[in-house]
Amino acid sequence: GFAEHLKDLKKRGVEHRYLAGKNIALLFEKTSTRTRAAFTTACIDLGAHPEYLGKNDIQLGKKETGRDTALGLGSMFDGIEFRGFKQEHVEDLAKYSGVPVWNGLTDKEHPTQMLADFMTMKENFGTLEGLTLAYCGQGRNNVQNSLMITSAILGVNYVNATPAELEPDPAIVEVARAFAAITVTNDPVEAVANADAIYTNVWAAMGEESQFAERVKLMSPYQVNAELLSHVKNPDYIFLHCLPAFHNAETEYAADMAERFGVKEMEVTDEVFYSDHGRQFQQAENRMHTIKAIMAATLGDLYIPCV
Ligand code: CP
Query: To test the ligand 1 pocket, which listed residue (26, 39, 82, 105) has its Cβ within 8 A of the most ligand atoms?
Result: 105
Report which of residues 147 and 211 the model is more confident about: 147
Q: In sequence order, which ranges of the chain are alpha helices (DSSP H)?
A: 2-11, 34-45, 66-74, 87-96, 111-125, 142-154, 170-177, 188-193, 212-219, 226-229, 252-261, 270-273, 280-299
DSSP readout, 68-85?
A: HHHHHHHTT-SEEEEESS
Q: Which of 97, 113, 93 is nearest to 105 (CA)?
A: 113
Q: Which of 52, 109, 242 to mutate to test the pocket of ligand 1 (most atoms within 8 A of CB)?
A: 242
Distance 200 CA to ligand 1 centre (A): 14
Taking CA atoms only, the protein residue closest to ligand 1 atom 4 is: 34
- Nearest by Cα to 155 from 186, 133, 174: 133
64-112 tens-digit pLDDT: 999 999 999 999 999 999 999 999 999 999 999 999 999 999 999 999 9
* pTM (global) more than 0.75: yes
Using the predicted structure, report yes or no on whether residue 207 has a pLDDT greater than 90.
no
180 lines ligand 1 (CB under 6 A): no
CA distance 257 to 265: 10
pLDDT tens digits for range 152-203? 999 999 999 999 999 999 999 999 999 889 999 999 999 999 999 999 999 9
Q: Give 203's DSSP letter.
A: S
In tens, the pLDDT along 31-61 reads: 999 999 999 999 999 999 999 999 999 998 8
Stretch 144-150: mean pLDDT: 97
Kindly report the average pLDDT of the chain as a whole number: 95
